[in-house]
A and B are shown apart, each in its own frame.
Chain A
Amino acid sequence: MTRPIDLTEIRRRTFRDTAMDGLVELMLGIWFFYISGALYKNGKGFSFVLLPFAFYLIYLGLKYLKNRYVYPRLGYMKLPAGNQTNPNMKLLPYSLIAGLVVLVGILFITGDYRYPMRWYFWIPVFISIFLSGVFIYQALGSGLIRYYFYVIVNILSVILSMLLPFEGKLEVISNYLLILSGFFIIAGIFIFILFIWKNPIQTVEIEANNEKK
């Protein structure tokens, strides 16, 4: 039995499939953890030089997990080059602009624009607004409610990171990314396990037709 044909719904389902496994959360969590470590003690933490290698290793790990666990369950598809799956592509640049406007606004309201050395304190706010835009974009495109929850966690993380004691200029950003990374690593592992449990591997009988070729 086939499903009703609704191209908008098919686009939404297709987009949702790319976010079902929780691997993006896991990857984001590990990235944030590494960047947070690199910024720790004003850049005396993890090596920044190794950052591209770390990113590449994480990418390879993600690719392996996708090939090994995700595609046999959900199937593989490639989205078209010109993204036509998301209903609201304009949201990303808007969230970047909104983040910048809020950052500049805060600097003026607090009077910190006169002290460039204090700007670092507000950078997590800018990152947080941009990330919130990304999560809202994902929520609108996929219809997954959990992305709205991420927006709330994101806002709480930025507030918490500003309340925590910090020594160096970069540590407020490091604290913020560390809180987010902890959340995303746990969320990613949990969603991934749930995904594996809920989606058995699909069996396909296609060989009979393909062998003829």
Chain B
Amino acid sequence: MKKSEPDQDISRTLADLDRLVHEPARLSILAVLSVVESADFVFLMRQTGLTSGNLSTHASKLESAGYIEIKKEFVDKIPRTLIMLTSGGKEAFEAYRKNVLKALGKIK
């Protein structure tokens, strides 16, 4: 059976969703990073509710995709690992939001 035009539109929009961003834990990390300039692991753990192991794994995937940047700095000789969204990450997150809203808008 052939799909109607709006159904095809929804399918196309959903197919366009970035799978890397679509995963709830990674989406949560990107959402938190989108409202701050940078944050460390402890802050992200508290805000996302992820365990440190989980957060570390997802952060590595996002970093490999170029969506986030992980930097190390020293404050009073204490190391601090900072994570921030890259411009690619910001674009990916915004595009994901728009696509989801677009797809949901077509569902009656």
Contacts and interface: CB of A to CB of B under 8 A. Distances in A.
Interface string A43-81: 000000000000000000000000100011111111111
B45 A202 contact: yes
A206 interface: yes
A203 to B, nearest CB: 7
A72 B48 contact: no
A74 B46 CA distance: 7
A79 B42 contact: no
B35 A7 contact: yes
A154 to B, nearest CB: 30
Interface string B1-40: 0000000000000000000000011011001101111111
Contact of B46 (A7, A67, A202): A202
B24 to A, nearest CB: 5
B78 interface: yes
A2 B48 contact: yes
B39 A78 contact: yes
Interface residues of B, number: 38
Interface in B21-76: 24-25, 27-28, 31-32, 34-50, 52-53, 55-57, 59-60, 70, 72, 75-76
The interface size bin for chain A is 20 to 34
Contacts, number: 101
Dominant secondary structure of chain B at its interface with chain A: helix
B80 A76 contact: yes
B66 to A, nearest CB: 15
A10 B31 CA distance: 8
Given A76-B42, A77-B38, A84-B35, A209 B59 contact: yes
Interface centre among B25, B57, B60, by most A CB within 10 Å? B60
A139 to B, nearest CB: 20
A209 B60 contact: yes
Contacts of A203: 52
Interface of A: 1-3, 5, 7, 10-11, 13-14, 17, 67, 71-81, 84-85, 202-206, 208-210, 213
Interface of B: 24-25, 27-28, 31-32, 34-50, 52-53, 55-57, 59-60, 70, 72, 75-76, 78, 80-82
Q: Sorted from nearest, which 6 A-B pairs have the closest CB atoms?
A: A75-B43, A75-B42, A77-B39, A2-B28, A78-B37, A76-B40
